[in-house]
Amino acid sequence: MKVSKRWSRIVAPALVIIAGTGQALAAQLLPVEDDAEQEAEVLVKGMNVRFHARAVRGLAAGARQGQGPIAHGKDVHGERGAPGGLQINDAALDHIQTFAGTRPFEFSIQSETSVASFGKNIVVGYNSSADSPIVQLPAGLFFEHVHFSAYSTSNDGGQSWTSGFIPPPEGSLETDGDPSLAVDRRGNFYYASLGSDAAGTFSLIVGKSTDGGRTFAPAVVVAADDGSDKEWLAIGPDPVQRKQDNLYVTWTSFQATGSELRFSRSTDGGATWSPQQALFVPTDTGAMSAFIQFSNPIVDRSSGRLYIPFLHFSNSDADLIRVLVSDDAGATFHFLRFDIAGAPDPFGFPNVTPGLITDCGNPGGGIRIVLRQGPDLGGGRLALPRYRQATRLITQPSAAAANGRLFIALNSSTSATIGDPAAGSQIRLLYTLNGGTKWSVRTIAPATSRDPQHVHPSVSVDDDGEHVQVGYYTQQADERLRTDLLLAEVGGKGLEIEDVHALSRGAFDLIPSNIPLPSAATPFRTTNYDRLVQPCYNIGEYMSVVLAGKGKPSAQSAWGDNRQLWTSPPGSPLFGTALETHAQPDVFFTTSNDH
């Protein structure tokens, strides 16, 4: 059965203005149960489309404008250097809020990491539901603010960590995640994410830290775009003004009939940004669709060349990886050629996204491609399976460039048919050692009977383009997940794999992210155990690896990890079931010399 990959767009709940005594209180009404037949969820994350809670506009007295770092101690699993890494998000921030007439709000999901490093200063960005406090007013339940863009900072090389949340732009109380971090040559850290401007328009925002990641100034709006999703940030030297670092942000802008690849640039350290421009506006050709997603810009510091890999959805099983290139700091672009036999055109590399096509609930989750654990619950739309434990999959082409070499890591199905239930998944490395004139591709993590699935790779390379490291998730035959790190070297004999070892300690379960809550009004309704996050969201859509240090650098890796346990309270749909105590997503970090 052929299922369209054009997932439907979900409209965020409407902004509600409430009259107060002597002043207007404008807030985002949090939909709750009106009766036994009806309950809506507040959705933050999405795939190909944006799902977000619109910011509160005030709540007059005492609405907090971003939270500074919160110190916390070492994780319960031991000192830095212990196998399996260190938990770096502050577990004390996770909490439960309960109100009469509706089930509890369990704020305890952290995942989807991005790492930047400068000397002993390390910053890890991630999505977090832990700072979205709710208050009860006569008219209902309201957010004080929604701070979904979180970070943890170490100023001693990863031995100790503090946690905080990126302050939104002035006048806004909303950040919406999708972290992308980078650092310039002066040690300033930049944090790009989704958010809103002071007028409430969904926007691309960038926060800056000039003190080693200890604090971030209120974010600057790069571009207001109500159709925006999946922004990504890159920093590198200007091709002409070699002492100047340029910042580049790309994102997807969803329109009525398709999506566009958009771009903005800053040449003054993120203070101002160029007007947004559309770099690629696809049209439906029959073979290729009018939709793109998941851009991942990267700068080759040796030349200042800007690469922008992204995914162009096809109307068949294999989508295309495309790469735009600029040698003049984004003034002009051209596509790299792949010349793959059988591809719709010479400027794309075909790839089939892995995973099983499943029903992740309506409203909210939609039809998704996922990794799953446990039995099929049945009863899905279009006769599709449903799994209580699931995490969605995408193909974001993770990229790294150095010394004229470009590396792109992909998760790929072992089948030519998307959604093939018998398929495994593998990590492939697509690379060129001469700027795109000649390409090679190698399967670096194959599917096996012991480890059938490998997804969400992150690639990094040293400044010489010789040492390559790739982190990724592996699903074992027992359906549990772990994270692995592959080390390779590029020499006269090409790419040689030197080592593969586990990052996480053992393996972990998927969380209950797709819990059925059917009713007469919405028979296919499901929910994540954390009500702020949409169904089938767990480990996020990417992890992060960066190489740090001179000579043969070490890898600094951060990932969403479910090894810790969470007990859902009375009133939760899991209370009294076998999954009442279940896996919980946290963020873990390690360096390659921690093993």
> Would you state the structure tokens that stand for residue 42, as one six-digit string?
């507040």
Cα–Cα dist 313/320, whole Å: 6
Average pLDDT over residues 480-497: 94
Closest CA to 130 of 166, 106, 99, 153: 106
Cα–Cα dist 299/191, whole Å: 17
User: Which residues on adjacent β-strands are paired with residue 321?
Assistant: 311, 349
3-class state of residue 300 by DSSP: strand
The per-residue pLDDT for 237 is 98
Closest CA to 417 of 375, 369, 457, 461: 369
The per-residue pLDDT for 386 is 96
Look at residue 41 and tell me whether its pLDDT is greater than 90: no
Cα–Cα dist 451/63, whole Å: 48
Q: How far is the CA of 445 from the CAs of 387, 456, 457, 487, 488, in angstroms?
A: 26, 12, 10, 11, 12
22 CB-near residues (< 8 Å, 6+ apart):
none
What is the torsion angle, in degrees rounded to the nearest 10, for the CA atoms of residue 360, residue 362, residue 364 and residue 367? 40
DSSP 66-114: ----EEE---TT-STTSTT-EE-S-GGG-EEE--TTSPPEEE--EEEEE
Let me know: does 113 contact 543? Beta carbons within 8 Å: yes
Look at residue 21 and tell me whether its pLDDT is greater than 50: no
Look at residue 78 and tell me whether its pLDDT is greater than 80: no
> Would you state the structure tokens that stand for residue 155, as one six-digit string?
């100023």
Of residues 27 and 96, the one with the higher pLDDT is 96
> Would you state the structure tokens that stand for residue 484, as one six-digit string?
């692995």
pLDDT tens, residue by residue, 284-316: 999 999 999 999 999 999 999 999 999 999 999
59 CB-near residues (< 8 Å, 6+ apart):
25, 27, 135, 142, 144
Look at residue 584 and tell me whether its pLDDT is greater than 90: yes
The per-residue pLDDT for 336 is 98
Look at residue 23 and tell me whether its pLDDT is greater than 90: no
Average pLDDT over residues 5-11: 26
Let me know: does 543 contact 533? Beta carbons within 8 Å: no
Q: How far is the CA of 169 from the CAs of 146, 161, 198, 464, in angstroms?
A: 13, 25, 7, 38
72 CB-near residues (< 8 Å, 6+ apart):
90, 91, 92, 161, 162, 163
Mean pLDDT estimate for the chain: 87
Closest CA to 511 of 436, 564, 434: 564
What is the torsion angle, in degrees rounded to the nearest 10, for the CA atoms of residue 98, residue 102, residue 103 and residue 109? -70
Q: What percent of the chain has pLDDT over 90?
A: 80
Look at residue 366 and tell me whether its pLDDT is greater than 50: yes
Q: How far is the CA of 2 from the CAs of 12, 317, 354, 357, in angstroms?
A: 29, 9, 15, 10
pLDDT tens, residue by residue, 234-257: 999 999 999 999 999 999 999 999
Look at residue 47 and tell me whether its pLDDT is greater than 50: no
**pLDDT category, 592, cuts 50, 70, 90?**
confident
Which single residue is written with the structure tokens 């421009």? Answer: 277
pLDDT tens, residue by residue, 118-147: 999 999 999 999 999 999 988 889 999 999
Look at residue 54 and tell me whether its pLDDT is greater than 90: no
**pLDDT category, 516, cuts 50, 70, 90?**
very high
**pLDDT category, 593, cuts 50, 70, 90?**
low
The per-residue pLDDT for 83 is 57
